Amino acid sequence: MQIFHNPAPAQWAALQQRPLAGSNAAILARAGEIFDDVAQRGDEALRHYAAQLDGVPALTGLRVSAEELAAGAAQVPAELQAAIRQAIQNITAFHAAQRPPAVEAEVETMPGVRCWRRSVAVPRVGLYVPGGSAPLFSTLLMLGIPAKLAGCREIVLCTPPGRGDGRIAPAILFAAQELGLTTIIKAGGAQAVAALTVGTASVPAVDKIFGPGNRYVTAAKQLAAQRGVAIDMPAGPSEVLVIADASANPAFVAADLLSQAEHGPDSQVVLLTDSEILLNGVVTELERQLPLLPRAEIARQALTESRGLLLPDMAAMLEFSNQYAPEHLILAVAAPEELAANIYNAGSVFMGHLTPEAVGDYASGTNHTLPTGGYARAYSGVSLDSFYKKITFQQLAPAGLLALAPVVEPMAAAEGLHAHAHAVALRREYLSQM
């Protein structure tokens, strides 16, 4: 971990840079090639990439059968089944509370002019759940639960086939079974996003794509948006920023940093503190805890692009954090409520010494699909709202049309849109003859 003592604010921008895994232009170009291939060859292209990228040379059926689903789900140990069911309860409770009214209250903007909005579920959604070295069944809960609560008519799950045997991780299948999801596609990476965008014989095209992934998945989602398919956000490699004061436990802080570093070599962790004793203690704990991790080498690579900063006071730490706009923000301080009131750029905030980021990843109830790479400056994390669209309605009574006509007609004429003005004038004249 790179350590910096009291860097000047002029240096902060450089210290806030995320690690880059190659050229973004090259990644976009490669994702574009995969997109075009899937659009042309459909399922054949998906089988090709399963062999080339996932190490599954003989993948035939791209859809998980009912028999595969049941058999895979049955392999999940009872303890994990119970944990997943409890997580489902918590996540459901939090997201169900976000349910909007079916029809919002009408607003009469002028006498006889009524306007209102209605929430409508996005009809067809695609959920991307990373597999690879760590099958993230928790991501399926975070996406599948709000999709079901919103009432999306069609939910398509894409997740990479297991290396060698092509099987989906049992925990993902169990989670899918618990949520009642049956359209499960053995496809990952940019090719899965392409298939959800353009549709193939096995993969239905969808209206909106959700889910995190590596830089190729993120690039593919950007390409999907260019082709008219909505996305949740540009969610890429995971990151956490910890603000810690002298009251923090160095072992806790180190564990939180490592819990994000183990996601992948391009993950980033940042520690801000005004206590040199705490900073040194965290460095010592990182050295002690890192070798104990099964994914130690991945975490070690991530730490090379991660930073620990000693800053003069809480105000400086707060300013740095808001500029960085972290995906996850941990307030390991004595009075987190005071600090939280001044946070305006963050995906999800974890307050106090007993609230590790890991609880949000799995089962506190909040959603772990969050904006990364600084996108928390403008994006929210996934919520129930993400699966709805709002349709506006308006209806005019005769008095409303007559009241709006002298407003709309001159405005339309001033913009040179005379057909607009004429559409109102015709109705005004009609009403005047009644």
Tell me the catalytic residues.
Answer: 327-328
Q: Reduced to 3 states, what is the DSSP secondary structure of residue 356?
A: coil
5 annotated as a binding-site residue? no
Whether residue 214 is annotated as binding a ligand: the answer is yes
Report how far apart, in Å, the C-alpha atoms of 261 and of each of 217, 238, 295 are: 19, 8, 9
Residue 40 is assigned to a ligand binding site? no
Helix axes 43-53, 189-198, angle to 10 degrees: 170
Please check if 432 is assigned to a binding site. Answer: no
- Bridge-partner residues for 273, per DSSP? 244, 310
DSSP secondary structure, 203-243, as one string: S---SEEE----HHHHHHHHHHHHTT-EES----S-EEEEE
Residue 260 marked ligand-binding: yes
Distance CA 346, CA 323 (A): 10
Q: 226 among the known binding-site residues?
A: no
Consult the annotation and say whether 256 binds a ligand. no
Three-state secondary structure call for residue 35:
helix
Give the contacts of 217 (CB within 8 A, at least 6 positions apart). 128, 130, 189, 190, 192, 193, 211, 236
DSSP labels, 129-180: ---TTS--HHHHHHHHHHHHHHT-SEEEEEEPPPTTT-PPPHHHHHHHHHHT
Cα dist from 195 to 156, 204, 226, 310, 355, whole Å = 11, 8, 15, 46, 38
395 labelled binding-site residue: no
207 marked as binding residue: no
CA-wise closest residue to 136 among 66, 36, 64, 212: 212
Identity at 182, one-letter amino acid code: T
Amino acid found at 321: S
245 is in an annotated binding site: no
Q: How far is CA 221 from CA 127, 191, 214, 379, 413, in A?
A: 12, 10, 11, 15, 41
Residue 391 structure tokens: 């349709």
The neighbour count for residue 94, using CB atoms within 10 Å, is 17
Residues 6+ apart with CB under 8 A from 79: none
Binding residue positions for substrate: 238, 260, 263, 328, 361, 415, 420
Binding residue positions: 128, 191, 214, 238, 260, 263, 328, 361, 415, 420
Binding residue positions for Zn(2+): 260, 263, 361, 420
Binding residue positions for NAD(+): 128, 191, 214
